[in-house]
């Protein structure tokens, strides 16, 4: 696909003196071949008129949540779904705070909350507002959720103060948008199989052996891969998570059911991302009815489940294979052993002994272990982990190193 072809960039403009530079950004993106649409806050219209952007883009400009035409689509949803990249430039401290806390009281912030597109934010504000610890905490929260920031420049500000807060150069903002636009298509035409969640191995119709995996990371990876153009099948154990958009979901309960589903799909997959916590063992016998306390044996005989990832590696199925390792000690060593023994191209490993991270949480800290080295993610949101996994997957599929 040619650069810019069929790619829509939604430009958000908030109320600040730097709003006039958004006109330059819009022109720069249109020159690169992107379709550009603009959404403005009401305050932004005090600095630049919607007519200016309509003239530049030849597209209607969105300002109000309330459409005059009752037959028109729900505006914030239609804008959110159209966008391949959403850039907000300039972005005020107020809008950053709203986004960090999930407030959606105008068309721009509702669109930001509803979109699945990557978000690029170019802040512009007074130096004291920029340096304030609340603003920095809000920025850190958004970064952890995968929002890209184009740092403001330092210099003389419109208010007369000197310091950080000037909108970044238009060329730098455009470069960040272009990078996200390219990423938004980097898995197009690929078939990706993702496993997620834990399996449940029945003892009887009531009880089972299971684990604490929530499936959040696997679901996030499936959603991210689909957003970037891949055809995605997600095979998941029991979870309360909703099906990701544009993903074919196969729900299973046991390791044997997951094994059957994965083997059926793997032959045609370009990549397998095996994030599921598959039970290593299952009861040798399953009670036909609920086993009463008095009849429960003192010991349950277990048999080994098939090792799905190892078999994929031995049979060279699934193309690029990314495994996951949940460990409680010697995390990197165990991950590297898994990398070799299961013929993986990368293993994503984490220490599940920390109750604040891993199972059921929104954030995690992982190691990306490859033949070329190990990278520590630091504590980041699971959506950011999914983004990094897909970045590395795209490079592996293109024959590049994932390090």
pLDDT tens sequence across 286-313: 988 998 888 888 889 999 999 999 999 9
Which positions of the chain have pLDDT values less than 70?
1-5, 67-76, 157-158, 162, 401-403
pTM of the model: 0.84
What is the pLDDT at residue 223? 94
Q: Which residues are tagged catalytic?
A: 159
pLDDT in tens, 321-337: 999 999 999 999 999 99
- How distant, in Å, are the alpha carbons of 89, 105, 137 from that of 108? 12, 8, 21
Tokens 């990701």 correspond to 244
Domains of the chain with CATH codes:
8-183 (3.40.50.1950), 191-397 (3.40.50.10300)
CA neighbor of 96 nearest in space, from 143, 58, 59: 143
Cis peptide before 90 (omega within 30 of 0): yes
Under a CB-based contact definition with an 8 Å cutoff, are residues 43 and 64 in contact?
no
- Residue 347 is predicted with a pLDDT of 97
Residues 6+ positions from 7 with CB-CB distance below 8 Å: 33, 34, 35, 84, 85, 181, 184, 185
257 vs 280: CA distance, rounded Å: 13
Alpha-carbon distance 215 to 226, whole Å?
A: 17
Confidence (pLDDT) at 3:
47
Rounded to the nearest 5°, which phi and psi values hold at 374?
Answer: -130, 135
């Amino acid at each position: 696909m040619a650069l810019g072809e069929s790619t829509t960039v939604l430009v958000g403009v908030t109320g600040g003196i730097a709003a006039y530079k958004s006109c330059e950004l819009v022109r720069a993106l249109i020159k690169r071949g992107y379709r550009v649409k603009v959404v403005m806050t009401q305050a932004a219209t005090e600095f630049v008129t919607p007519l200016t952007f309509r003239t530049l883009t030849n597209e209607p400009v969105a300002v109000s949540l309330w459409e005059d035409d009752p037959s028109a689509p729900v505006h914030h949803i239609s804008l959110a779904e159209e966008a391949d990249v959403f850039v907000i430039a300039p972005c005020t401290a107020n809008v950053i705070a709203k986004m960090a806390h999930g407030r959606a009281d105008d068309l721009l912030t509702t669109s930001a909350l509803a979109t699945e597109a990557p978000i690029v934010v170019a802040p512009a504000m007074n130096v004291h507002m920029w340096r304030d610890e609340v603003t920095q905490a809000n920025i850190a929260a958004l970064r952890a959720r995968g929002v890209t920031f184009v740092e403001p420049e330092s210099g003389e500000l419109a208010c007369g103060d000197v310091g950080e807060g000037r909108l970044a150069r238009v060329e730098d903002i455009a470069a960040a948008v272009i990078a996200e636009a390219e990423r938004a298509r980097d898995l197009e035409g690929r078939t990706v199989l993702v496993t997620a969640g834990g399996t449940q191995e029945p003892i009887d119709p009531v009880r089972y052996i299971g684990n604490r995996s929530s499936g959040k990371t696997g679901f996030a990876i499936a959603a991210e891969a689909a957003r970037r153009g891949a055809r995605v099948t997600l095979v998941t154990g029991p979870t309360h998570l909703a099906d990701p958009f544009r993903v074919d979901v196969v729900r299973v309960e046991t390791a044997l059911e997951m094994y059957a589903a994965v083997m059926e799909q793997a032959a045609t997959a370009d990549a397998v991302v095996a994030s599921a916590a598959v039970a290593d063992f299952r009861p040798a016998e399953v009670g036909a009815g609920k086993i009463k306390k008095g009849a429960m044996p003192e010991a349950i005989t277990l048999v080994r489940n098939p090792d799905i990832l190892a078999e994929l590696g031995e049979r060279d199925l699934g193309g690029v294979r990314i495994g996951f390792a949940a460990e409680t000690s010697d995390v990197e060593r165990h991950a590297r052993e898994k990398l070799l023994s299961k013929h993986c191209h990368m293993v994503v490993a984490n220490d599940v002994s920390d109750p604040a991270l891993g199972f059921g949480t929104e954030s995690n800290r992982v190691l990306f272990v490859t033949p070329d080295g190990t990278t520590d993610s630091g504590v980041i949101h699971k959506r950011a982990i999914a983004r990094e996994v897909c970045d590395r997957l795209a490079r592996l599929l293109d024959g590049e190193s994932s390090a």
